C-alpha cells in the first residue's frame, strides 16, 4: 500500500514537471495546427542551455529563464524557416519537417557535448520521511517551480492581450483575423512561448535526473500522451493529462518494471483514441 | 570493392522496399507512418526468430514477416483510421518505440540488446563467395514484384480511390468509397512490405539488434520518398538509391573533417540527413520524378475508361 502511495506521490511530482512542456506543445498545436515533433530536440536544447547557465552561477530561476529564452528563440526560428511554410500543404509535411529539425537540434547538442550524461550540480539534501513515505526536498522545490510556471501561463492566457489573442485564434482563426488579431503575430508568439515552455520542461526534467542529447526524445511520448489524453489543443487538458500520465508511469513501474515505463504513454494514447478520441477535456478547450 | 558495391546495392534495395511501402500510404492515401522502423523491426524479428530457434525454412520466415508486419499495421490503424492523420503520426511514432522496448527487454525471446546472431543466410553453403550477388538478385526480384504491384495499384480504380481519399476523404466517402476500409488495407499492405524488408535485412546481415531499428531509419525513408516524388512508385525507388548514395558520400565526407571525434562524425552525418530532408520538403516538394496525374477523360468523346 505504501508503495502505491509513494508511486502516486512520485507521479504527482513528475506529472507537474511534464505538464510544463505539455502545455507548450498543446498550445502550439491549437494555434499552428500541426503536431510539432521538434519538441524532442527543443527540450534537450533547453535542458543544456539551463545546464550551462546553472554552471555559470545563475540560480534556478535565472537558469530556467535562459532555458526559456534559448528554446523559444530557436523554436521560433525553426517554425518560421522550416515548418510554417509547409503548413499550407497540410499538417503532415510540417510534422515531418519538424521531426527532421528535432534531429538537427539533437545532433547540434551532440556535436557540442558528446553523448555523456551530465547532471546539474545541486547540493545534496536528505529525504524528508513521513511514516514510510519519503519526499526529496529538491523534488518538491522543482515541483513548486513547475506549478508556479503553470499558474503564470494560465494567468497570461486569461488576462493578457496576447493570451486572449492566442485563445481567440485557436478557437476560430478567421473570426480572430476579422477582429483585427494579426494571425502572423499570434503564430509567432505561440511558437516562442510554446517552445520556451518545452525548453523549461526539458530543464525541469533534467534537474530531477540527468541530461544527454536524447533527454528530449525520451520524454516525447509522455508529452504527446499528456496532450492527447487531455484533448489536443487544450491547456487545462494538458495539465490533467500530464498528472495522469505521470502517476500511471510511476504505477506501471510497480506492475511491469521500469523498462516499460515509456510504453505507458503509447498505450494511454491508444486507449484514449479508441474510447474517447477528443480527449478528456475535449479539443480546443484552450 | 565489388563486395562493397554489392552491399550498398543490397541495403539500397531494402530501403527501396521500405520506400515503396511508405509511398503507397503517403502518396496514395495521405497517411504517414512515422513508425516505419518499428514495422521493419517486426518483420526482421519475426523471421529471425522462427528460422533460428524455430528452425523454419527461410521462405516461411519471409512469409511470416509479411503477415506479422501487416497484422501490426492493422492493429495500429484500427484505433486511429477514424481520426485525423496527425493522430496516426503520433501513434505510429509510439509504436516503433514500443517495438524497440520489447526487443530490448524481452530477453527470453529476443536476447535483448545483444541481438540475434546466426540468422541463416539462404543457400549460403552452396553459394559461397557468390552469396552477396545472388542475394541481391533475389532481392531485386522481390523488389520488382512489389514495384509491379505498386504500379498496378497506382493505375487501378483502387489506386484512384486511394488518391481521392488523399485529396478529400469526405468527397470520396460521399462517392460511395469505403474510406476506412481502404485506408486500413493500404496501411496494412504498406506495413507488410516494411516487414518483408526487415526479413530481407536480417537474412542478409545475419544479425539484428534493437539498435539497428532506430527512428533514424524512418527519417531516411521519408527523405527517399520525398526526394523521389511523393505518389510515384518509380520516384520512391530512385529516391532510395539516391538516399544510399547520399548516406555513403556523407560517410566518406565526414572522414575528411579533421579534429572531430567519432561521436561528432556520427552527429554530423545525422545532421546532414535531417537538413537534407527539410531542404527537400521546402525547395522540391514535388520531388525529382513528380506524380503524374492523368487527365480526366472527356465526357463527350468517351475517352478511356
The string of pLDDT tens digits covering residues A193-211 is 999 999 999 999 998 788 9
CB pairs under 8 A between A and B: 124
Distance CA A23, CA B117 (A): 44
CB contact under 8 A, B94 and A273: no
Q: What is the pLDDT of residue A219?
A: 92
Is A234 part of a structural domain of the chain? no
Q: How far is A97 from chain B (nearest CA, A)?
A: 5
Q: How far is A53 from chain B (nearest CA, A)?
A: 23
Is B168 part of a structural domain of the chain? yes
Is B240 part of a structural domain of the chain? no
Which residues from A are below 8 Å from B106, CB to CB?
Answer: none
Distance CA A92, CA A179 (A): 29
Interface list for B 12-71 with A (CB within 8 A): 30, 32, 34
Domain that holds residue B192: 2-214
Is B198 part of a structural domain of the chain? yes
Which residues from A are below 8 Å from B30, CB to CB?
Answer: 90, 92
Quick one: average pLDDT of A63-70? 96
Burial category of A259 from C-beta neighbours within 10 Å (exposed 0-12, middle 13-18, buried 19 and up): middle
Q: What is the pLDDT of residue B65?
A: 95
Contact assessment for residue B277 and residue B222, using Cβ atoms and an 8 Å cutoff: yes
> How would you write chain B as a 3-class SS string?
CHHHHHHHHHHHHHHHHHHHHHHHHHHHHCCCCCCHHHHHHHHHHHHHHHHHCCCCCHHHHHHHHHHHHHHHHHHHHHCCCCCCHHHHHHHHHHHHHHHHHHHHHCHHHHCHHHCEECCCCCCHHHHHHHHHHHHHHHHHHHHHHHHHHHHHHHHCHHHHHHHHHHHCHHHHHHCCCCHHHHHHHHHHHHHHHHHHHHHHHHHHHCEECHHHHCHHHHHHHHHHHHHHCCCCHHHHHHHHHHHHHHHHHHHHHHHCCCCCCHHHHHHHHHHHHHHHHHHHHHHCCCCCCCCCCCCCCCCCCCCCC
Please check whether residue A116 touches B, CB under 8 A: no
Quick one: average pLDDT of A83-110? 92
> Between B79, B84, B281, which is nearest A93 by CB?
B281
CB contact under 8 A, B94 and A266: yes
Is B70 part of a structural domain of the chain? yes
Which residues from B are below 8 Å from A106, CB to CB?
Answer: 270
Distance CA B238, CA B79 (A): 33
Q: What is the pLDDT of residue A131?
A: 77
Is pLDDT above 60 for B304?
A: no
Instruction: Render A138-197 in DSSP notation, one character per residue.
Output: HHHHHHHHHHHHHHHHHHHHHHSHHHHHHHHHHH-HHHHHHTT--HHHHHHHHHHHHHHH
Is pLDDT above 60 for B250?
A: yes
C-alpha cell at A168: 481567440
* Best CA proximity match to B79, nearest among B67, B70, B87: B87
* Best CA proximity match to A21, nearest among A250, A259, A265, A256: A265
> Between B34, B83, B266, which is nearest A273 by CB?
B83
Is A41 part of a structural domain of the chain? yes
Provide, rounded to the nearest whole percent, the portion of chain A with pLDDT above 90: 58
Distance CA B65, CA B203 (A): 12
Q: How far is B101 from chain A (nearest CA, A)?
A: 7
- pLDDT one-digit tens code per residue, B271-291: 999 999 999 999 988 888 887
- pLDDT one-digit tens code per residue, A143-161: 999 999 999 999 998 898 8
Is A75 part of a structural domain of the chain? yes
Provide, rounded to the nearest whole percent, the portion of chain B with pLDDT above 90: 55
Is A230 part of a structural domain of the chain? no
Residues 6+ apart with CB under 8 A from A21: A39, A43, A197, A198, A200, A201, A202, A205, A219, A223
* Chosen from B93, B276, B287 to mutate, greatest number of chain A CBs within 10 A: B93
pLDDT band at A286 (very low <50, low <70, confident <90, very high): low
SS3 A46: helix
Q: Which residue from B minimizes the CA distance to A213?
A: B267
- pLDDT one-digit tens code per residue, B97-109: 999 999 999 888 8
Q: How far is A93 from chain B (nearest CA, A)?
A: 7
Please check whether residue B255 touches A, CB under 8 A: no
Helices A183-208 and A215-230: crossing angle in degrees, nearest 10, is: 120
Q: Which residue from B minimizes the CA distance to A218?
A: B97
Is A279 part of a structural domain of the chain? no
Mean of the per-residue pLDDT values for chain B? 89
Domain that holds residue A74: 2-115+133-215
Is pLDDT above 90 for A65?
A: yes
> Between B84, B261, B271, which is nearest A104 by CB?
B271
> Between B78, B90, B226, which is nearest A228 by CB?
B90
CB contact under 8 A, B86 and A95: yes
Q: What is the pLDDT of residue B299?
A: 67
CB contact under 8 A, B261 and A114: yes
* H-assigned helices in A33-136: 39-55, 60-78, 84-87, 91-113
Number of domains in chain A: 1
Is B282 part of a structural domain of the chain? no
Quick one: average pLDDT of A218-235? 92
CB contact under 8 A, A100 and B34: no
CB contact under 8 A, B282 and A270: no
Mean of the per-residue pLDDT values for chain A? 90
Q: Which residue from B minimizes the CA distance to A82?
A: B278
pLDDT band at A82 (very low <50, low <70, confident <90, very high): very high
Q: What is the pLDDT of residue B305?
A: 44
Is pLDDT above 60 for B26?
A: yes
Is B65 part of a structural domain of the chain? yes
Which residues from A are below 8 Å from B226, CB to CB?
Answer: 96
Distance CA B154, CA B163 (A): 9
- pLDDT one-digit tens code per residue, B161-211: 888 888 888 888 888 888 888 889 999 999 999 999 999 999 999 999 999
Is B46 part of a structural domain of the chain? yes
Distance from the Cα of residue B98 to its chain's centroid: 18
Quick one: average pLDDT of B49-71? 93
Q: What is the pLDDT of residue A180?
A: 83
CB contact under 8 A, A37 and B281: no
Q: How far is B45 from chain A (nearest CA, A)?
A: 19
Instruction: Render A59-80 in DSSP notation, one character per residue.
Output: -HHHHHHHHHHHHHHHHHHHII
Number of domains in chain B: 1
Contact assessment for residue A150 and residue A239, using Cβ atoms and an 8 Å cutoff: yes
Interface list for A 258-277 with B (CB within 8 A): 259-260, 262-263, 265-266, 269-270, 273-274, 277
Provide, rounded to the nearest whole percent, the portion of chain A with pLDDT above 70: 99
> Between B34, B94, B104, which is nearest A99 by CB?
B34
Q: Which residue from A minimizes the CA distance to B77?
A: A270
CB contact under 8 A, A93 and B90: no
Distance CA B268, CA B262 (A): 10
Distance CA B180, CA B168 (A): 13
Instruction: Tell me the pTM.
Output: 0.91
Q: How far is B269 from chain A (nearest CA, A)?
A: 9
pLDDT band at B239 (very low <50, low <70, confident <90, very high): very high
Which residues from B are below 8 Å from A216, CB to CB?
Answer: none
Amino acid at each position: 500500500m505504501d508503495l502505491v502511495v509513494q508511486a502516486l506521490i512520485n507521479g504527482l511530482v513528475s506529472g507537474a514537471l511534464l505538464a510544463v512542456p505539455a502545455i507548450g506543445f498543446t498550445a502550439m498545436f491549437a494555434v499552428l495546427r500541426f503536431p510539432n515533433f521538434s519538441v524532442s530536440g527543443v527540450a534537450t536544447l533547453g535542458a543544456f542551455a539551463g545546464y550551462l547557465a546553472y554552471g555559470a552561477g545563475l540560480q534556478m530561476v535565472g537558469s530556467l529563464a535562459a532555458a526559456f529564452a534559448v528554446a523559444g528563440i530557436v523554436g521560433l526560428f525553426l517554425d518560421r524557416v522550416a515548418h510554417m511554410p509547409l503548413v499550407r500543404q497540410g499538417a503532415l509535411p510540417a510534422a515531418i519537417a519538424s521531426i527532421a529539425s528535432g534531429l538537427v537540434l539533437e545532433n547540434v547538442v551532440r556535436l557540442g557535448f558528446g553523448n555523456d550524461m551530465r547532471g546539474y550540480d545541486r547540493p545534496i539534501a536528505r529525504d524528508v520521511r513521513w511514516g514510510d513515505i519519503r519526499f526529496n526536498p529538491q523534488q518538491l522545490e522543482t515541483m513548486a517551480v513547475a506549478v508556479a510556471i503553470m499558474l503564470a501561463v494560465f494567468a497570461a492566457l486569461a488576462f493578457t492581450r496576447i493570451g486572449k489573442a492566442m485563445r481567440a485564434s485557436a478557437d476560430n482563426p478567421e473570426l480572430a483575423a476579422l477582429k483585427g488579431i494579426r494571425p502572423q503575430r499570434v503564430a509567432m508568439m505561440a511558437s516562442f512561448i510554446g517552445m520556451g515552455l518545452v525548453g523549461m520542461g526539458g530543464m525541469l526534467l533534467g534537474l530531477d535526473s540527468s541530461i544527454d542529447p536524447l533527454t528530449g526524445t525520451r520524454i516525447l511520448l509522455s508529452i504527446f500522451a499528456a496532450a492527447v489524453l487531455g484533448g489536443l489543443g487544450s491547456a487545462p487538458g494538458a495539465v490533467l493529462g500530464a498528472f495522469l500520465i505521470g502517476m500511471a508511469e510511476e504505477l506501471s513501474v510497480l506492475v511491469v518494471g521500469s523498462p516499460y515505463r515509456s510504453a505507458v504513454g503509447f498505450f494511454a494514447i491508444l486507449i484514449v483514441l479508441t474510447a474517447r478520441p477528443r480527449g478528456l477535456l475535449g479539443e480546443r478547450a484552450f | 570493392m565489388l563486395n562493397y558495391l554489392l552491399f550498398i546495392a543490397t541495403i539500397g534495395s531494402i530501403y527501396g522496399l521500405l520506400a515503396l511501402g511508405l509511398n503507397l500510404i503517403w502518396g496514395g492515401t495521405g497517411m504517414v507512418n512515422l513508425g516505419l522502423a518499428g514495422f521493419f523491426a517486426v518483420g526482421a524479428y519475426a523471421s529471425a526468430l522462427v528460422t533460428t530457434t524455430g528452425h523454419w525454412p527461410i521462405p516461411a520466415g519471409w512469409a511470416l514477416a509479411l503477415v506479422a508486419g501487416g497484422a501490426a499495421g492493422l492493429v495500429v490503424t484500427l484505433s486511429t483510421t477514424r481520426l485525423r492523420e496527425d493522430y496516426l503520426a503520433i501513434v505510429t511514432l509510439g509504436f516503433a518505440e514500443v517495438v524497440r522496448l520489447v526487443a530490448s527487454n524481452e530477453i527470453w525471446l529476443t536476447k535483448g540488446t545483444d541481438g540475434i546472431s546466426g540468422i541463416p543466410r539462404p543457400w549460403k553453403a552452396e553459394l559461397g563467395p557468390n552469396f552477396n550477388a545472388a542475394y541481391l538478385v533475389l532481392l531485386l526480384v522481390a523488389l520488382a514484384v512489389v514495384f509491379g504491384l505498386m504500379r498496378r495499384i497506382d493505375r487501378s480504380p483502387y489506386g484512384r480511390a486511394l488518391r481521392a481519399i488523399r485529396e478529400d476523404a469526405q468527397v470520396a466517402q460521399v462517392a460511395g468509397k469505403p474510406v476506412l476500409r481502404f485506408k486500413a488495407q493500404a496501411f496494412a499492405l504498406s506495413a507488410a512490405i516494411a516487414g518483408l524488408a526487415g526479413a530481407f535485412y536480417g537474412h542478409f546481415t545475419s544479425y539484428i539488434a534493437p539498435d539497428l531499428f532506430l527512428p533514424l531509419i524512418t527519417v531516411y525513408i521519408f527523405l527517399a520518398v520525398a526526394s523521389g516524388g511523393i505518389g510515384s512508385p518509380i520516384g520512391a525507388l530512385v529516391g532510395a538509391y539516391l538516399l544510399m548514395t547520399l548516406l555513403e558520400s556523407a560517410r566518406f565526407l565526414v572522414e575528411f573533417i579533421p579534429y572531430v571525434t567519432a561521436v561528432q562524425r556520427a552527429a554530423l552525418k545525422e545532421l546532414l540527413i535531417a537538413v537534407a530532408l527539410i531542404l527537400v520538403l521546402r525547395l522540391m516538394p514535388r520531388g525529382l520524378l513528380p506524380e503524374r496525374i492523368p487527365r480526366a477523360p472527356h465526357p463527350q468523346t468517351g475517352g478511356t475508361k
